[in-house]
Amino acid sequence: MAALLEIKNLLIDFGSDQQAVRAVDGVSLSIGAGETVCLVGESGSGKTVTALSIARLLPSPPAHYPAGEILLEGRNVLRASQDELRRLRGGVVSYIFQEPGASLNPVLRVGRQIKESLRLHRPQAATDAEVVRLLKLVGIPAAESRSRSYAHEMSGGMQQRVMIALALASEPKLLVADEPTTALDVTIQAQILDLLRELKQRLGMSMLLITHNLGIVGQMADRVAVMYAGQIVELAPAAELLPRPLHPYTQALIDSVPKLGGGAERLTAIPGTVPSPGAMPPGCRFEPRCTRARPDCAQHVPQLVEVEPSRWVRCPYWNAGN
Amino acid sequence: MLEVKNLKVHYPVRHGLLRGIRQHVKAVDDVSFSIGPGETLGLVGESGCGKTTLGRAIVKLVEPTAGSVWLDGEDIARLSGAELRARRRKFQMIFQDPYNSLDPRMTAGGIIGEALDIHHLAGGRTEREGKIEALLKMAGLDASHARRYPHEFSGGQRQRIGIARALTVEPKLIVCDEPVSALDVSVQAQIINLLQDVQRERGVAYLFVAHDLAVVEHISRRVMVMYLGKIVELGGAKAVVQTPKHPYTQALVSAVPQIDPAAQRTRIVLAGEMPSPIDPPPGCPFHPRCPLAETRCRSESPTLREVAPGHWASCHFAK
């Protein structure tokens, strides 16, 4: 099966040549048809920048791509013309973001915004009936009257549903969801996650879900890529990674979150903070915070290696002391 | 130590030509509970349920409409002016956003020292500097950090400054309003551990307000669940999470996504959203979303009653 999306050794820099800061450093990732891949990491890990680069949504300058390929249905996005990009955006890949209120146009009725997307991508379907069908698809009650609402008249959960309807209007093959439920309450989060899972199945989409919440990974992901300081440090099927993480960072991350019903014993915190892109440690980027670091970790840059079938880890000592 | 009785915070909503008060937002509606010395009471609920307003009313950052807040045998709700200012030594607050809750033009040392000055807690300059240093160290920072400004710190470090500032006056109670939700996952654990260490050393009590049930369960001895301005459940942290009695808490617990894909509980996905607190539904405030609702729930408001030893719930059917 050919991958729908294939990112190969992607580099993303910000800024001019002398002072360029590397936000993404050698990311390789593929997503197959119908697959859900979760990109996990803390702020500054490069997960959002990676996701935005798929449809070349990063303003350039300051962003530029010194090396690497992003193949969407076999076409290299980084070489695409403006016309091709316009077809890819929406037509192949759609986005939903964390703050639905900030992504919707405040002065247009939501139905009109959906129709605008339909006119662009599926002109024959740009009808009121199709708008209402999409709003019903994402579970908005009284869809006819809601299509005449403005974004500010809706709650956060409803706004996110509208965003999803808007993203689906163009019938994309890949939905990129960047922290889609972070701004929502847990009961509403559960509704939106259920909706995404159901729609993905019904429409046969692929999904790239970006989150810092490992619980969401457990519920949604087929495969997980864990990012730290601009690099993927572990890549594996979710069902194998979550119960048995191999990279020290993934292990520390899972250990540091309190689990529901997990008892009151002291949390094992990760000391220090994420390094800033301008001041990366020379060897392994997690070395300064790693409890299992060895003397040579500070000098040698570890590679992402397939240590078990379909399990990739960026740590030469993943197997030591286990 | 802290005893909150029938606390209400109602905000007037003005409408029409004469700006007459027509309705009230019942942000906190008839809430009673107590916190013992050195205890952590968790408070969970979704946005708009009134949990932040309740926390602020207790430290008198918002004026309660009715009810009393007894701390060490004194009703804070009635105090004002100089008396209130003097009593503020006993209760402090830590805020959610470590970026906006520190004065950008003051150094970390200045922020902590200001509290010492206001309450006349340091005699001379050397004593003042010694105290600032000790507080910074207690919060896991370095003495040299005293001369730095907030923008020079990371989010986690800023929250440490917020904690040091709250500890300056040696309070008995700290209201922590979502203290870790703006922080990265790996830093959250550092701050949670720090709060627990501080409690062990100083014996300070916390009202820990958060929306993350797992964090609240971890840090609290007892947990209180709020919905639409009212407490719907109150009990031991373990009991509330493992055997929730109120249908809302049951849904809330089941909605928390679990890391282990194999360990998924049966999820109760609630329909709809929390109604507006301006015009709350009659009867039980939860009945429009409740899977168990019957005719009675639409008219008869349930009271918070003890359904198991130390475990309270306000539902007609809880047992």
Q: Are B63 and B206 within one domain?
A: yes
Give residue B293's domain range.
250-319
Q: Are B17 and B132 within one domain?
A: yes
Q: Does residue B24 belong to any structural domain of this protein? A: yes
Higher pLDDT, A2 or A322: A2
Query: Confidence class of residue A72 from pLDDT cuts 50, 70 and 90?
Result: very high
Q: Does residue B280 belong to any structural domain of this protein? A: yes
Q: Are B19 and B142 within one domain?
A: yes
pLDDT at A321 over 70: no
* String of DSSP letters for A161-188: HHHHHHHHTT--SEEEEESTTTTS-HHH
In this predicted structure, what is the pLDDT of residue B59? 92
In this predicted structure, what is the pLDDT of residue B304? 93
Most confident of A82-96, A270-284, B227-241, B264-278: B227-241
Q: Is A190 near chain B, with CB under 8 Å?
A: yes
Which of A48, A146, A185 has the most B C-beta neighbours within 10 Å, making it the best mutation to test the interface with B?
A185
Q: Does residue B279 belong to any structural domain of this protein? A: yes
Enter the tokens of residue A9: 């050794």
pLDDT at A184 over 90: no
CA distances from A4 to A26, A69, A205, A238 (A): 19, 13, 10, 19
**CB-CB contact of B250 with B227 (8 Å):** no
In this predicted structure, what is the pLDDT of residue A100? 86
Q: What is the CATH number of the domain that holds B123?
A: 3.40.50.300
Q: Is B32 near chain A, with CB under 8 Å?
A: no
Q: Does residue B143 belong to any structural domain of this protein? A: yes
pLDDT at A241 over 80: yes
B73 secondary structure, DSSP code: T
In this predicted structure, what is the pLDDT of residue B264? 60
A119-166: per-residue pLDDT in tens?
A: 988 888 888 999 999 998 888 888 888 899 999 988 888 898 899 999
* Percentage of residues of chain A with pLDDT beyond 70: 98
In this predicted structure, what is the pLDDT of residue A90? 86
Q: Is B192 near chain A, with CB under 8 Å?
A: yes
Q: Are B213 and B273 within one domain?
A: no
Q: Does residue B126 belong to any structural domain of this protein? A: yes
Q: Does residue B237 belong to any structural domain of this protein? A: no
B261 contact residues in A (CB cutoff 8 A): 218-219, 238-239, 242
* Rg, Å, chain A Cα set: 21
Q: Are B53 and B196 within one domain?
A: yes
C-alpha B303/C-alpha B46 separation (Å) is 21
* Chain center to CA of A64: 20
C-alpha A247/C-alpha A317 separation (Å) is 9
Closest residue in B to A254 (Cα) is B259
C-alpha A82/C-alpha A99 separation (Å) is 27
ipTM above 0.90, yes or no: no
**CB-CB contact of A260 with B256 (8 Å):** yes
Q: Does residue B228 belong to any structural domain of this protein? A: no
pTM: 0.87
Q: Which of A286, A281, A231 is nearest to A23 (CA)?
A: A231
In this predicted structure, what is the pLDDT of residue B239? 94
Positive or negative torsion for Cα B30, B34, B40, B41: negative
Q: Are B210 and B254 within one domain?
A: no
Closest residue in B to A190 (Cα) is B255
In this predicted structure, what is the pLDDT of residue A261? 81
In this predicted structure, what is the pLDDT of residue B298? 92
Query: Do residue A258 and residue B46 have CB atoms under 8 angstroms apart?
Result: no
In this predicted structure, what is the pLDDT of residue A61? 82
Query: Do residue A155 and residue B273 have CB atoms under 8 angstroms apart?
Result: yes
Q: Are B186 and B274 within one domain?
A: no
Q: Is B130 helix (H, G, I), strand (E, B) or coil?
A: helix
Q: Are B161 and B90 within one domain?
A: yes
C-alpha A223/C-alpha A38 separation (Å) is 6
Q: Are B183 and B138 within one domain?
A: yes
In this predicted structure, what is the pLDDT of residue B263? 65
Strand order in the sheet with A174-178: A93-96, A174-178, A206-211, A36-40, A223-228, A231-237, A311-313, A305-308
Among B179, B203, B220, the domain boundary falls at B220
Residue appearing with tokens 């902590």? B112
Give how many domains chain B has, as a whole number: 2
Q: Is A94 near chain B, with CB under 8 Å?
A: no
In this predicted structure, what is the pLDDT of residue A120? 87
C-alpha B138/C-alpha B180 separation (Å) is 18
Q: Does residue B183 belong to any structural domain of this protein? A: yes
Q: Are B100 and B199 within one domain?
A: yes
What tens-digit pLDDT sequence spans chain B (319 residues)? 899 999 999 988 877 777 776 788 889 999 999 999 999 999 999 888 899 999 999 999 999 999 999 998 899 888 888 889 888 999 999 998 888 899 999 999 999 999 899 888 888 889 999 999 999 999 999 888 999 999 999 888 999 999 999 999 999 999 999 999 888 888 899 999 999 999 999 999 999 999 889 999 999 999 999 999 999 999 999 999 999 999 999 999 998 888 876 666 677 878 777 888 887 888 999 999 999 999 999 999 999 999 999 999 999 998 8
In this predicted structure, what is the pLDDT of residue A20? 85
